[in-house]
Homo-oligomer: A and B are copies of this chain.
Amino acid sequence: MDKFIYSFGGKQTEGDASQMDLLGGKGANLAEMARLGIPVPPGFTITTACCNAFLKSKGRYPRGYAEELQAALSALEEAMGMCFGNPNNPLLVSCRSGGRQSMPGMMETVLNVGLTTDTIPGLIQKTGNPRFVYDSYRRLIMMYSDVVMEKAEGIEPENGNAIRVQLERIFDAFKETKGADKDTDLSDECLKEICELFKERVKKVLGRPFPDDPKEQLEGAIGAVFKSWDGKRARSYRRIENIPGSWGTGVTVQAMVFGNMGESSATGVAFTRNPATGENQFFGEWLANAQGEDVVAGLRTPSPLNEETKVEHNRKVASLQTAMPGVYDELVKIRKRLETHYRDMLDIEFTIQDQRLFMLQCRVGKRTGTAALIMAMEMLNEGLIGETEAILRVKPDQLNELLHPIVDPLEEKKAKLLAQGLPAGPGGAFGQIVFTSDDAVKLSRTHDQVILVREETNPEDIEGMRAASGILTARGGMTSHAALVARGWGKCCIVGAGEISINPATKKMKIAGKTYAEGDILTLNGTTGKVYEGKLKMVDATEDTRFKTFMEMADKYRTMGVRANADTKEDALVAKSYGAEGIGLFRTEHMFYRGGTDEPLFMLRKIILSNTASERRTAIDDLAPFVKQDIKETLKAMDGLPVTLRTLDPPLHEFVPHSRAKQVELAEAIGVDLAEIKRRCEALQESNPMMGHRGVRLGISYPDLTEMQVRAIFEATAELVEEGFHPQPEIMIPVTSDVKELVFMRRLVSRVCEEVTQQHGMAGIVHKFGTMIEIPRSALRGHKMAEVAEFFSFGTNDLTQLTYGFSRDDAGEFMPTYLERKILKRDPFQTLDPWGVGELIEIATERGRKTRRDLKVGICGEHGGDPESVRFCYKTGLNYVSCSAFRIPIARLAAAHAAIEEKIATHP
């Protein structure tokens, strides 16, 4: 029979840190700490398996559970020398969630379970602290009515009328009438009165009384935590974070220790190193006379843990180091013990009850990308971890944030500082401000840059936070919800900017007397916590030597190549600086989209719409030098490295003028009347342009255009060779579906190559000839395609469109529903579908290499910069991935990870 409950911290500790899957992170790590002799309040953890059974059977517990619960509770009572529900010596417990992976704030917690009208007097007698007891009771009522009686029952109150909000309003109103500023200003009598008001309101609103039976409280709390696994917020978070619903949560029931027993009590959270910068400093926050939720919820702004980490902003408040030096020293020792044991940075929660320290939680801490990298390098130097472990410590996507834009320091010096908060998420961001999550989502559909401004964030804000470029809150600390989430995403975020006063109802906020309305623009510096008016310029993060060292180390393990998609000399140089080993996709048509002179585009339009063959010929000849120059610059910038040049890809319609003015101009230039120009432009319209007259199809219809491009490539190459360079052009034909298309193009390319070779009196021009594989048929015909192609490059954007039959431009209409209803696990345009699209890639690669053993195979769709897709490419044996310049480090690291993980898997 399965065991559903594991005790810890008492006579016997049954679990350990290896049992994350079964006990959840919290339960497993509490057991581990108990085994290490670190003080934790005793308790027990109910397993995730029990959670799954409970949810599957719609609220029934598995057989044997009840007996185990009774036994675990008895053992806990024995360990504590107290008795649950006993009026004289009552044991109180907390019920906390804990999944395999941390989901901050997404699930529920109930504290102080076991307080009833029966046990209150006993606890007062025992502690001699009636204020504390009633404060605990009012907290229990608030949490329990919210979590157990409302949410877990699936009651969805009208906006703003949640029971929790109603009780908070009562509480605030009461404080108002008593002239109390802080909770702690309220007397025990006041709190007692508040508890009575709370209970009345609960009964009135929820239709049943607040339970006064400890067992009922415990059962309700456990069930509610389980149910919260399937709550809306949790599901939404899991979808974003790709956490399977099947994991379930554990529930840890633990003897209460109290940080709210007076000024000699406290609660706090800390990171063993700085989670934002990676610095090796003990970094945390604490609140005297408070329970843990006060810190995490960001309701009160906490104080720094020690002197070292104080900043301008909180210079004047007392640190734990000075307030309780003995306890602080003990905490520092535990920090050291945990880091040595776990060999990683940890995120810990502790409570001090009357000068006595208890650890409530420890887990591997979330960190920014920068911090992850710095910590990995330092722990490597400290000998805590080895090279491959250091590399694996940084998730490829985390690098994103190292490469994030930051506010231009020069502009920042001159800018008007509006407010100062805590630097909770890295980089800079500017944008139009909005005051609700919904507005952020809405506005982000049409505007790139949105700043979400909130009093504080809560899990309901997740979607808006995701949509925003930056997040700004008026309240909360570095471990508040906003800070935790933003850090996880590497998103620019400032929390606890107390100067700002927000009125969500009018969608306005005030800072220093000035009012800002929705749509006004602010700039945030998430690295310093500074808020500015208006839009400041952003610059790319400068290079960090540790970053370079780290990437070089990763490259030692990497076996798959990384190239860039780049269409200009400038892009090429950036890509090279990021470590690109070549260009995997140079879009020859890009020059026509570029700003600046539109001369080339005008010439192309003449070619497309010209009246006679000779006009067309002239226009092609006029355009040719521009094309050559464009290609030559990039080949030169990438000297010695391969550059894959794709011939014309988009349908011609994309190039013709749509404005009347431009049509008139063109009509005059080519001597055709306007109506005719209009007619020709319209004739180029297509029903499904994605599958229309484009790519190689254009090349076969209009070989003169392709020939001009190919000639430009060979001439540019020949000239560079003559100038002493080593260009390595690779000509790539797009949108092919049959080898005969390639035969046609190969002939054309070979002829032009011969001609240019002769003109330049050279022995030959080194080049490669290959094709995009972006049409399902060409993947299936890989063995034939490879008869002519020397390389394949998977265009996974189009391949995904055609394999799924999803038009990317139109998928917005159904993709959200598909993700919501779990028809799709992920958006296949973001992460490569390994089953359908992936199989076509595998088929093409295998068949292609059967024909041509040394066929070079790469990928140049946007998936080339997605870590999971990179892993797939590695497993499939691709030679390289190609991605946009700014994702190259990510691809390099992802490729290194894939290689290391394979090594570990084969030689564990």
Contacts and interface: CB of A to CB of B under 8 A. Distances in A.
A682 to B, nearest CB: 13
A721 interface: no
Interface stretch (A75-83, A320-328, A641-649, A832-840): A832-840
B735 A805 contact: yes
Contact of A776 (B687, B697, B802): B802
B823 A700 contact: yes
A824 B700 CA distance: 12
Interface in A574-597: none
A658 to B, nearest CB: 15
B777 A803 contact: yes
A817 interface: yes
A777 B798 contact: no
Interface stretch (A43-51, A164-172, A518-526, A738-746): A738-746
Interface string A424-436: 0000000000000
A697 B686 CA distance: 23
Interface stretch (A225-233, A492-500, A807-815): A807-815
Interface in A756-789: 774-777, 780-781
A774 B744 CA distance: 30
Interface string A107-127: 000000000000000000000
Contacts of A801: 691
A138 interface: no
A774 B689 CA distance: 19
A822 B821 CA distance: 46
Given A688-B688, A689-B688, A835-B780, A805 B810 contact: no
A687 B687 CA distance: 8
Give the oligomeric copy count: 2
B837 A777 contact: yes
A693 interface: yes
Given A777-B805, A803-B776, A836-B777, A690 B689 contact: no
A209 interface: no
A480 interface: no
Given A687-B807, A688-B690, A700 B780 contact: no
Interface string A690-726: 1111000100110000000000000000000000000
Contact of A701 (B689, B691, B780, B814): B814
Contacts of A817: 700-701
Residue picked from A697, A741, A833, most chain B C-beta under 10 Å: A697
Contact of A693 (B689, B691, B693, B814): B814
A690 B801 CA distance: 11
A547 interface: no
A701 to B, nearest CB: 5
A806 interface: yes
Contacts of A97: none
Contacts of A824: 738, 740
Contact of A691 (B697, B805, B837, B839): B805
Interface string A830-866: 0001011101100000000000000000000000000
Contact of A822 (B690, B693, B740, B798): B740
A884 interface: no
Residue picked from A806, A810, A824, most chain B C-beta under 10 Å: A810
Nearest to A738: B823
A737 interface: yes
A626 interface: no
A383 to B, nearest CB: 48
- Size class of the A contact interface (CB-based, 8 Å): 35 or more
A803 B798 CA distance: 12
B821 A804 contact: no
Contact of A804 (B686, B693, B737): B737
Contacts of A814: 693, 697, 700-701
B687 A690 contact: yes
Interface in A11-29: none
A818 interface: yes
A737 B836 contact: yes
Nearest to A837: B777
A810 B688 CA distance: 7
Contacts of A835: 777, 780-781
Given A700-B823, A805-B802, A818-B700, A690 B691 contact: yes
B810 A689 contact: yes
A807 B692 contact: yes
A823 B833 CA distance: 31
Nearest to A809: B687
Residue picked from A691, A801, A802, A805, most chain B C-beta under 10 Å: A805
Nearest to A703: B821
A690 B802 CA distance: 11
A504 to B, nearest CB: 28
Residue picked from A693, A700, A798, A811, most chain B C-beta under 10 Å: A693
B840 A686 contact: no
A810 to B, nearest CB: 4
Nearest to A737: B804
B688 A821 contact: no
Contact of A688 (B735, B737, B777, B809): B809
B823 A744 contact: yes
A651 to B, nearest CB: 8
Nearest to A806: B691
B693 A780 contact: no
22 contacts: A686-B809, A687-B809, A688-B688, A688-B807, A688-B809, A690-B691, A691-B810, A692-B807, A692-B813, A700-B817, A737-B803, A737-B805, A740-B824, A741-B823, A744-B821, A775-B805, A776-B802, A777-B803, A777-B805, A777-B833, A777-B836, A780-B840
Interface of A: 686-693, 697, 700-701, 735, 737-738, 740-741, 744, 774-777, 780-781, 798, 801-807, 809-811, 813-814, 817-818, 821-824, 833, 835-837, 839-840
Given A686-B809, A688-B810, A700-B814, 13 more contacts: A689-B807, A689-B810, A691-B805, A692-B810, A697-B814, A700-B823, A701-B813, A701-B817, A740-B822, A775-B804, A776-B805, A777-B836, A780-B836
Rank and list the top 9 A-B pairs by shortest CB-CB distance, nearest first. Answer: A777-B836, A691-B807, A688-B807, A687-B809, A692-B810, A775-B805, A693-B813, A776-B776, A686-B810
